[in-house]
Amino acid sequence: MLSQEQESNATKKKNSETKVNNEKDINTKDVANAMSAVASYNLQRNNSNVKEMSDSSDGKDEEEEETSEEEEDRRAPIELLGEFLKAIMDQDYKLASKLCQMILIYEPENPEAKQFIPLIEEKLLLGKLKYLFLILHSYIKNI
């Protein structure tokens, strides 16, 4: 026979296990509700985007719509933009010029890339002039 104290401990243990299981069920339900709310939000957002797209395409030809979608999808990769900025900061203007041209292949109307082209070309020209000046200076020194 179990003593009264042992029975009490067994009952407490059983009650605590039941309480933990109930809390797990509540947490699981909370997570499920949150996931359901997120899914519902995403569905509403997607539906509103589809509605906006269908509203904006009224009166447009399918061909025009496909062209505009292709233009919107043609974004320069973020890695390319990052490499371009790094080349500028490192004053590697030859690399920066190539990367800038690549950005313009993806985004022909990219305003930043368009503004950087003449500046990069100027820096490259100044670098060449500086190199020629050093050569000329060393030549004159040796005469």
Per-residue pLDDT of the chain (143 residues; tens, 9 = 90+): 556 776 766 666 666 666 655 555 554 444 443 433 334 434 554 455 455 555 555 555 556 555 555 555 689 999 999 999 999 999 999 999 999 999 999 999 999 999 999 999 999 999 999 999 999 999 998 88
Number of DSSP helices (H) and strands (E) in the chain, helices first: 5, 0
**What's the pLDDT score for residue 143?**
83
Distance CA 85, CA 96 (A): 8
pTM of the model: 0.48
The token duo for 46 is: 């997607």
In the chain, the amino acid numbered 45 is: R
Predicted pLDDT of residue 39? 40
Which one, of 95, 137, 86, lies nearest residue 120 by Cα?
Answer: 95
Give the distance between the most distant pair of CA atoms in the chain: 116
Task: Measure the CA dihedral 38/40/44/46, to 10°.
Answer: 70
Tokens of 7: 């029975």
